């Protein structure tokens, strides 16, 4: 397992500046960062898996140590299969903490050698979420400060 590689998993439906804030900061800390789009049959994403991967690739293209992948199943199993020792999870508020802590503790039980690291976005992105972004755009609001331009174009194409 590599101490220099981390996994940042998520559905990324839609990719926000909050996600990119964590990706950029992790890319400075780790030699290699795998940003992995999770296939979760319990969720009904707006974007297809391929669309989410493409939007992520476009957004991270200038960071040579960041790669985009996808997976199905348990995150911790994917982390182990990739030889990753650290899973990055974003926390925006206290409301995120309880569910993220439950996941981290279960992952610890399944694979004690894989550590979960919690990161908070910088203050300007604490309120940004994919679901809120979609809601704001659907209601006629401006999302240009919440998502990159290529993501906003795709959101408009899907929602408006």
Q: Which residues are tagged catalytic?
A: 19, 43, 92, 130
Which helix or strand (DSSP H or E) is residue 156 part of?
helix 149-159
Whether omega before 14 lies within 30 degrees of 0, making that bond cis, reads yes
CA distance 159 to 72: 26
CB 68 within 8 A of CB 56: yes
List, in sequence order, every beta strand (DSSP E) within 60-140: 66-72, 84-90, 115-119
**β 84-90/115-119 pair status:** parallel
CB 113 within 8 A of CB 1: yes
| First-residue to last-residue Cα distance in the chain | 45
Query: Which positions ≥6 away from 44 have C-beta within 8 Å?
Result: none
């Amino acid at each position: 397992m590599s101490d220099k590689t981390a996994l940042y998993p998520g559905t990324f439906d839609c990719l926000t500046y909050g996600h990119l804030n964590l990706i950029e900061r992790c890319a400075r800390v780790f030699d290699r960062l795998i940003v992995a789009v999770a296939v979760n049959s319990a969720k009904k994403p707006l974007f297809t898996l391929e669309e989410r991967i493409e939007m992520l690739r476009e957004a991270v293209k200038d960071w040579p140590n960041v790669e985009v992948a996808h997976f199905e199943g348990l995150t911790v199993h994917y982390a182990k299969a990739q030889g990753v020792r650290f899973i990055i999870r974003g926390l925006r508020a206290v409301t995120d903490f309880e569910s993220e802590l439950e996941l981290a503790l279960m992952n610890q039980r399944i694979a004690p050698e894989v550590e979960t690291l919690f990161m908070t976005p910088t203050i300007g992105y604490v309120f940004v979420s994919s679901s809120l972004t979609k809601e704001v755009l659907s209601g006629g609001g401006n999302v240009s400060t919440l998502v990159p331009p290529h993501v906003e174009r795709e959101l408009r194409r899907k929602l408006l």
